[in-house]
Amino acid sequence: MGTADLDSYIATGRTTIRGWLYPADAHLLAVAAGLTADTGDLVEVGAFFGASAVELGYLARPGERVIIIDPFQDDPHDRWAPNSGLSLDGFLANWRRFHADDPTIMVGLSGELMPELPASSARLVHVDGAHYYDVVRQDVAEATRIVTANGVLVFDDVGPWQWPGVAAAVWKAVTDGELVPLAITSAKLYTTPRGSGLMSDELVARALARGMRMEGPHMVCGFDVWEAYEPAPSRWVRGRELTAGMVPPTLRAGARRLRRAITGSA
C-alpha cells in the first residue's frame, strides 16, 4: 500500500470504523512505525472493531505480519462498551474493506497468547487490551519481551483519568527503567525499550514533517517527552468550516437536498 492509501485512511477511512483512533494518534502511529529501521511484526493487543489495526495494515513492510490478539467478545465488566457486539466476523468485515490479505489473528486473552510470540520479533507493539492494573503489567512485560531492540511500544488509555490502573502500570515500567518515553497524546504513550537507539528528537522531526504540533519537552526520568497534537486543518477545510458556521442549518439542509436532486437527475 502506498502513502496515499495511508493518508486517505487517516483522513477519512478510520472514521468509518467504530472506535477511538483520534487524529493525533492516527498520525503519530504512522510516524512511530516509520521511526524504527528494525524488521519485525506489528502486534496489536485489543482490536475492538479494527480502526488502529487497519492502519497497521498500511504500515507493515513487505514480509512483515500484522498480528492481532483479542478474544473478540464483549466484556460485561467494561463500563464503557459492555454490549458492543464485538465479533471476529465484524472485525474482519472492517479489515477487508481496506486490505486484500487478512492479518494473523490469535483469538483469546493476551496473557495466554502473547507468551507464544518469539522474543524480539515485533518492531511495533500497540497495547489496548484489558484495563486492569495486573493485566496491563503483564501486557507491558510481554510487549517489552517481544519488541525489537529499536522498536516502538504504544500503550493506549494512559492519559484518560478513567483508567488509573493503565497509567500506573505503564508509567511504572518507565520509572523502573524498562521503557523510555518519547511522546504522549491525550490517549496514548509512545515508548521504546531501554537501550534503544531511537530518540525523541527524530520522532518530533518526523511528526512536524507531517504537520503535527509538538509541545514540550517534559523531562521524565531523564528523557524528553513531547506532547503530540493532530495537524491543523488546511485553509480550505478551515474556510469550509467557517462558511458552514455562517449558514443557517435550514439553508444547509436545503442545499443538500438540491444537490442530491441534481445529482440524481444527471
Does 123 score more than 80 pLDDT? Answer: yes
Residue 127 or 236, more confident: 127
Distances from the Cα of 245 to the Cα of 15, 36, 235, 237, 250, angstroms:
22, 42, 15, 12, 12
The domain segmentation of the chain, as residue ranges, is 3-229, 236-265
pLDDT digits (tens, 9 = 90+) for 48-70: 999 999 999 999 999 999 999 99
pLDDT digits (tens, 9 = 90+) for 159-213: 888 999 999 999 999 999 999 999 999 999 999 999 999 999 999 999 999 999 9
Total residue count of the chain as it appears in this document: 266
Write the CB contacts of 59 (distance below 8 Å, at least 6 apart in sequence). Answer: 6, 29, 30, 33, 34, 42, 124
Percent of the chain with pLDDT strictly greater than 90: 79
Supply the DSSP symbol for 116.
G
The pTM is what?
0.86
Residue 234 or 35, more confident: 35
| Multiple choice CATH, 3-229, 3.30.1280.10, 1.10.510.10, 3.30.70.2740, 3.40.50.150 | 3.40.50.150
- Enumerate the H helices of 114-183 as residue ranges: 133-146, 164-175
Residue 182 phi, psi dihedral angles, 5° rounding: -115, -50
